[in-house]
């Protein structure tokens, strides 16, 4: 980067000055100022030149770019508005000296990310989320700058698909079905804690798939710790004025000691590096537990993903940190996203009861009260299918499409330059909120997916939404998430009336705010109260019966882990007086802790 070089040159110049004529201090300072000024002018000229060739955007200032105009919260709305003002679906916004391209409509996203998927497979260089986090050892942040990196990424993608790809997920239907029966059972017993039940469900599903162990209680720390960690990561990764963003502009700052002010707020994130070792230890424990099971029990459950991975490790030469990242991703990418989507569904039911009632009438006619819906009912439930699509569209959890993509070569869109290695981000908020493609976008209206409906519009893909990203980087867990969301939404609509909270003394309903969402790049509704009650006595009995049977069926996955993320390090350190480190090949070893 030009400014990095300028800083180093300035430093070298000063050393030379000091070593030679021993000039007065003021001369040295003057020289520094002069060089710095020249560096800034040249750098700014370069910014303006790039700006003249890139998609339209507000005028950047030297060094800080457009950062100062970023709102404190929800920058995706700001980008949506800018795109409308500038009359261009694709815009450039300078975060510091980093030109980021924001795609604000489905058709441009399709044209860029899908039609040119081959050159948009990489991630950009990301300091905070990538290099200071998991970088090239994690699929989510992996860059592709050469053939070796492409092959490395391809292996990770393949391994992820072994676990949760389209071919594998049918095998997880029984798990999702039973776990969602437990959600209904829990909603009956403790409706107030609906968010916790949904978090438990999502975490348990990925835990069984990944580690062969179910998460039976919402008090299990794996839930609270993983979800809290993901929410922190999601907050840090939102473009903003915060100090960490400075690191993206001046990567050299990342080389300074951790107490420097620009690392403020990254403390917990730094510890997350330890997440590697935690998930690796958890994985080893899971493989041991699985190997100890009698063969009949092993045959009755899907092979835990960690077992498959450990068996493939030698073939693919997978070091410990990469194994950890692959297993940790199930929790990291799969738990918060899936549960947040279901919390959004609950909010939609409260705010748009007419859609809920219409879906319930359809389910009643097909399924009846004596059993809950199953995927096999899906062809007879077109409105429910549209309802689930609308849940994904209306308030998509990965609101800026997860991580940015980055072209591996210079590209053009409508004659504008998108330079190689730049950040290109799909603004899913704006894409799903565009009233040309989704008239009355804030209205939860499943019928918009039905041809002939006045709000139906064409869309560039068959699904009708872009919630899971694009091209070759599209979410690896999409099939699993869609399958699980469908069964849970279907069962909860069949079983419950989900209404706005009504004060028992005054009888007044509490309004819900369909715009009150969290600020992270994985968003979910702000906490709200609601009333969840079984629809009929017959249905209540069916929920109880199915729930008890599901608990029985899931017993095979019951198990305990002795590890907790929050205490893992203290305990391991105290016990072993050793600390985990990676060797040059990326293998995990333990070294003695000094003192
Ligand atoms: C409702 C649930 C989910 C949503 C909305 C979602 C959304 C996304 C999005 C938008 C991306 C970025 C795509 C892109 O760069 O174009 C992504 C990536 C990813 N997701 Fe998901 N996701 C969900 C659930 C899951 C689950 C259940 C898993 C795994 C069990 C998972 C694993 C991943 C992985 C590994 C990536 C990185 C892929 C790569 O960079 O090549 N996700 N997800």
The average pLDDT across 436-447 equals 98
Say how many Å lie between the CA of residue 398 and the centre of ligand 1.
9
Q: Which atom of ligand 1 is nearest to the CA of 426?
A: 16
pTM: 0.90
Say how many Å lie between the CA of residue 530 and the centre of ligand 1.
29
Say how many Å lie between the CA of residue 476 and the centre of ligand 1.
5
Say how many Å lie between the CA of residue 63 and the centre of ligand 1.
33
Q: Which atom of ligand 1 is nearest to the CA of 209?
A: 30
C-alpha distances (whole Å) from 228 to each of 225, 231, 258, 307 are 5, 5, 22, 27
The answer to whether residues 405 and 120 touch, using CB atoms and an 8 Å cutoff, is yes
Continuous H helices in 166-292: 166-169, 173-189, 194-211, 221-236, 244-249, 267-272, 275-291
- In sequence order, what are the beta bridge partners of 99? 94
Q: Which atom of ligand 1 is nearest to the CA of 485?
A: 1
Positions of E strands within 307-422? 411-413, 416-418
Residue 496 pLDDT: 98
pLDDT digits (tens, 9 = 90+) for 59-102: 999 998 998 898 988 999 999 999 999 999 999 999 988 999 99
C-alpha Rg value of the chain to the nearest Å: 26
Q: Whose CA is nearest to atom 24 of ligand 1?
A: 334
Position 228 confidence tier, pLDDT thresholds 50, 70, 90 = confident
pLDDT digits (tens, 9 = 90+) for 177-226: 999 999 999 999 999 999 999 999 999 999 999 999 999 999 888 887 77
Does the annotation flag 475 for ligand binding? yes
Q: Is the pLDDT of residue 15 over 70?
A: no
Q: Which atom of ligand 1 is nearest to the CA of 428?
A: 10
Position 127 confidence tier, pLDDT thresholds 50, 70, 90 = confident
Q: Which of 342, 402, 474, 523 to mutate to test the pocket of ligand 1 (most atoms within 8 A of CB)?
A: 402
Q: Whose CA is nearest to atom 7 of ligand 1?
A: 468
Element (H, E) at 339: helix 320-351
As given in the structure block, the two tokens for residue 555 are 């017993």
Say how many Å lie between the CA of residue 589 and the centre of ligand 1.
30
Q: Which atom of ligand 1 is nearest to the CA of 160?
A: 35
Residue 60 pLDDT: 97
The answer to whether residues 358 and 482 touch, using CB atoms and an 8 Å cutoff, is no
Distance between CA atoms of residues 102 and 91, nearest Å: 5
Q: Is the pLDDT of residue 172 over 70?
A: yes
The average pLDDT across 442-471 equals 98
Q: Residues lining ligand 1, CB < 6 A?
A: 139-140, 157, 160, 164, 206, 329-330, 333-334, 337-338, 341, 397-398, 401-403, 405, 467-470, 473-477, 480-481
Distance between CA atoms of residues 485 and 479, nearest Å: 10
Continuous H helices in 395-426: none
Position 266 confidence tier, pLDDT thresholds 50, 70, 90 = low
Residue 317 pLDDT: 87
pLDDT digits (tens, 9 = 90+) for 393-418: 999 999 999 999 999 999 999 999 99
């Amino acid at each position: 980067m030009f400014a990095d070089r300028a800083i180093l040159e300035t430093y070298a110049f000063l050393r030379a000055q000091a070593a030679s004529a021993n000039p007065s201090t003021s001369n040295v300072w003057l020289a520094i100022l002069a060089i710095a000024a020249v560096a800034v002018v040249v750098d700014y000229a370069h910014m303006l030149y790039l700006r003249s060739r890139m998609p339209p955007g507000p005028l950047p200032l030297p060094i800080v770019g457009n950062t100062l105009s970023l709102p404190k919260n929800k920058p995706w709305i700001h980008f949506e508005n800018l795109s409308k003002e500038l009359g261009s679906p694709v815009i450039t916004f300078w975060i510091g000296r980093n030109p980021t391209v924001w795609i604000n409509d489905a058709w441009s996203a399709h044209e860029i990310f899908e039609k040119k998927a081959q050159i948009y497979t990489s991630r950009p260089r990301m300091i905070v989320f990538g290099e200071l986090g998991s970088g090239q050892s994690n699929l989510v942040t992996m860059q592709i700058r050469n053939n070796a990196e492409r092959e490395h990424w391809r292996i990770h993608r393949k391994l992820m698909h072994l676990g949760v790809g389209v071919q594998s997920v049918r095998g997880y239907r029984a798990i999702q079905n039973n776990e969602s029966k437990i959600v209904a059972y829990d909603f009956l017993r403790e409706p107030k804690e609906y968010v916790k039940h949904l978090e438990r469900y999502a975490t348990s599903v990925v835990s069984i798939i990944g580690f062969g162990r179910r998460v039976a209680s919402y008090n299990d720390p794996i839930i609270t710790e993983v979800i809290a960690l993901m929410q922190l990561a999601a907050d840090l990764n939102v473009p903003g004025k915060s100090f960490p963003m400075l690191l993206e502009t001046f990567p050299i700052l990342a080389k300074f000691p951790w107490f420097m002010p620009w690392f403020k707020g990254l403390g917990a994130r730094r510890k997350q590096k330890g997440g590697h070792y935690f998930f690796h230890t958890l994985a080893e424990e899971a493989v041991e537990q699985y190997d100890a099971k009698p063969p009949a029990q092993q045959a009755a459950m899907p092979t835990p993903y960690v077992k498959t991975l450990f068996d493939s490790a030698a073939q693919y030469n997978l070091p410990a940190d990469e194994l950890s990242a692959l297993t940790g991703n199930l929790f990291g990418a799969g738990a918060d996203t899936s549960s947040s989507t279901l919390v959004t569904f609950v909010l939609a039911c409260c705010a748009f009861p007419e859609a809920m009632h219409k879906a319930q009438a359809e389910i009643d006619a097909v399924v009846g009260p004596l059993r809950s819906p199953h995927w096999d009912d899906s062809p007879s439930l077109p409105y429910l299918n549209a309802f689930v699509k609308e849940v994904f569209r209306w308030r998509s959890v990965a609101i800026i499409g997860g991580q940015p993509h980055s072209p591996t070569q210079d590209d053009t869109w409508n004659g504008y330059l998108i330079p190689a290695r730049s950040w290109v981000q799909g603004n899913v908020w704006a894409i799903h909120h565009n009233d040309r493609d989704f008239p009355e976008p804030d209205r939860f209206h499943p019928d918009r997916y039905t041809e002939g409906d006045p709000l139906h519009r064409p869309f560039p893909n068959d699904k009708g939404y872009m919630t899971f990203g694009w091209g070759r980087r599209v979410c690896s867990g999409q099939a699993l998430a869609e399958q699980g969301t469908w069964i849970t939404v279907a069962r909860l609509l069949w079983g419950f009336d989900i209404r706005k909270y009504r004060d028992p003394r005054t009888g007044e309903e509490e309004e819900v705010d369909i715009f009150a969402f969290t600020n992270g790049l994985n968003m979910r509704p702000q906490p709200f109260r609601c009333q969840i009650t079984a629809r009929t006595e017959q249905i209540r009995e069916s929920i109880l019966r199915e729930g008890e049977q599901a608990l029985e069926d899931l017993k095979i996955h019951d198990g305990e882990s002795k590890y907790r993320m929050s205490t893992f390090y203290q305990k391991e350190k105290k016990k072993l007086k050793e600390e985990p480190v990676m060797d040059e090949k990326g293998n995990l070893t333990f070294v003695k802790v000094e003192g």
